[in-house]
A and B are shown apart, each in its own frame.
Chain A
Amino acid sequence: EDKVVQSPLSLVVHEGDTVTLNCSYEVTNFRSLLWYKQEKKAPTFLFMLTSSGIEKKSGRLSSILDKKELFSILNITATQTGDSAIYLCAAIQGAQKLVFGQGTRLTINP
Chain B
Amino acid sequence: NAGVTQTPKFRVLKTGQSMTLLCAQDMNHEYMYWYRQDPGMGLRLIHYSVGEGTTAKGKVPDGYNVSRLKKQNFLLGLESAAPSQTSVYFCASTMDGAGGYTFGSGTRLTVV
Contacts of A34 in B (CB 8 A): 99, 101
With a 10 A CB-CB cut-off, give which of A45, A98, A101, A103 has the most chain B CB atoms. A98
Q: Is the CB of A31 within 8 A of B98?
A: yes
**Contacts A31-B98, A96-B97, A97-B33 given: A42-B90 contact, CB under 8 Å?**
yes
Q: Is the CB of B106 within 8 A of A100?
A: no
**Contacts A95-B96, A96-B48, A96-B50 given: A102-B101 contact, CB under 8 Å?**
no
Q: Could you give, for residues 64-108 of chain B, a 1 whenever the CB lies within 8 Å of some chain A CB and a 0 otherwise? A: 000000000000000000000000001010001111010111100
Contacts of B48 in A (CB 8 A): 96-97
Categorize the interface residue count of chain A.
20 to 34
Q: List residues of chain B with CB under 8 Å of any chain A CB.
A: 31, 33, 35, 40-45, 48, 50, 58, 90, 92, 96-99, 101, 103-106
Query: What are 5 contact pairs spanning A and B, CB under 8 A?
Result: A32-B99, A42-B103, A43-B103, A92-B98, A97-B58
Q: Which residues of chain A in 53-89 are interfacial with respect to chain B, using CB atoms and an 8 Å cutoff? A: 88
**Contacts A32-B98, A92-B98, A92-B99 given: A42-B104 contact, CB under 8 Å?**
yes
